[in-house]
Amino acid sequence: MDPLLEVRDLGRRFGGLLAVAELSFTVNSGVIKAVIGPNGAGKTTVFNLVSGYALPDTGSVRFRGEEVRGLPAHELAGLGMARTFQQIQLVPGMSVLENVLTGRHRHTRTGFLAGMLRLPGTLRESRAARERCLETLAFLGLADLADAEAVSLPYGQQRLVELARALVCEPSLLLLDEPAAGLNMRETEDLAGTIGRINATGLTVLLVEHDMGLVMNISHEILVLGAGRRVAEGEPRAIQRNPDVIRIYLGEEDAESP
């Protein structure tokens, strides 16, 4: 079976800086895969290249067997990619539920005319979307907060609202950009459980993360980046013992005596 996501020879340069070079990896259906690496290793750039927020200079990105390199973000979303952001991107002035409802965009049809006239079909569609979003909020333990203003919530809950918005897109690949950034230890543990439950529903997850505990705990596979290139790839335990990985994280000397 084809992998869900197949990245080959990906490259991107920002001025004189080679952010990502000759990077190839695959994400198979059903796994949780993490991309890790020291600061500046190019993790977020890889994410942006894959999800349409930056254009690759070279290489190919195949998603569900289709070449998608260079497609704009909203079209990739239409093909079944959903992502969250390192810097939380919720809409001020909208409730939690309304923010999550924006995630139903591509599963609903109402246009300008139908929206203005409040046609019966529009109302039915809107009710169904609302129910679907409330289910997801309940799944993430946010049911009570549906009517709260999203951006006034604590940080950890805002992250969950972003997650809910991505989930109601019903993606086939969920991209999480540093989901534990800014969370305390307990929230991070809860998040690990949540990502596990999401994965258990059959959803493939690709995440970029700094928190090693979280990554080792939940990932099936790990891709390690250093200076925009692949340093190692494999199961968490193998990665933990990999001398190249230890070297880029801890420096040359420590690699001799792990």
Partner 1 sequence: MTLRGRGLGFTAGLAVAVVSIQIAASAAHKVFYLTQLTMSAYSMLVVLGLVMLMGYAGQASMGQAGFFAIGGYVAAFLTTFDLAPRRDTLLVALLDRAHLLMTRPDGSGGSVTHIHPWAAALVAIGLAAAIAWIVAGPVFRLRGHYLAMATLGFGIIVHRIFLGSSYFGAADGISDVPALVLLPGFSITGRAASRVSNYYAAWGLVLLTLWMISNLIESRVGRALKALHGSENAAAAVGIPIARFKTQVFILAAVLAALAGVLLTHYNGGIGPSEASVMKSVRYVAIVAVGGMANLRGALVMGTLLTFLSLRGYFGSFDDLVFGGILLAMMLFAPQGIVVGDLWRRLRSTFSGKKRGDDGPAA
Judged by the rule CB under 8 A, the positions of this chain that interact with partner 1 are: 51-53, 72-75, 77-78, 82-83, 85, 89-94, 98-99, 101-106, 108-112, 114-118, 122, 125-126, 129, 145, 148-149, 152-156, 162, 165-166, 169, 181-185, 187
What's the closest the beta carbon of residue 216 comes to partner 1, in angstroms?
Answer: 20
Report the residue number, 157 or 242, with the smaller CB distance to partner 1.
Answer: 157
Q: What is the DSSP letter of 149?
A: B
Q: Where would I find the H helices in the chain?
A: 43-51, 73-79, 96-101, 112-117, 120-139, 155-167, 185-200, 212-218, 236-241, 243-250, 252-256
**CB-nearer residue toward partner 1: 6 or 162:** 162
Between 93 and 251, whose beta carbon lies closer to partner 1? 93
- Which residue, chain included where needed, has tokens 């190249």? 244
* Closest by Cα among 205, 242, 252, 119 to 111: 119
Residue 258: enclosing H or E segment and its boundaries? none
Instruction: Return the number of the residue (26 or 102) whose C-beta is nearest partner 1.
Output: 102
Q: Between residues 18 and 148, which has the closer beta carbon with respect to partner 1?
A: 148
Nearest approach, Cβ of 213 to partner 1 (angstroms)?
14
State the nearest-atom distance from the C-beta of 234 to partner 1, in Å: 29
Cα angle: 164, vertex 170, 171; to 5 degrees = 105
Which two tokens mark 106?
């591509």
Closest CA to 58 of 70, 47, 48, 66: 70
Which residue type occupies 19?
A: A
Output 17 or 185, the one with its CB closest to partner 1.
185
Least Å from the CB of residue 115 to partner 1: 3
Name the minimum Å distance from CB 152 to partner 1: 6
Nearest-CA neighbor of 46 among 173, 215, 225?
225
Minimal distance, residue 102 CB to partner 1, in Å: 4
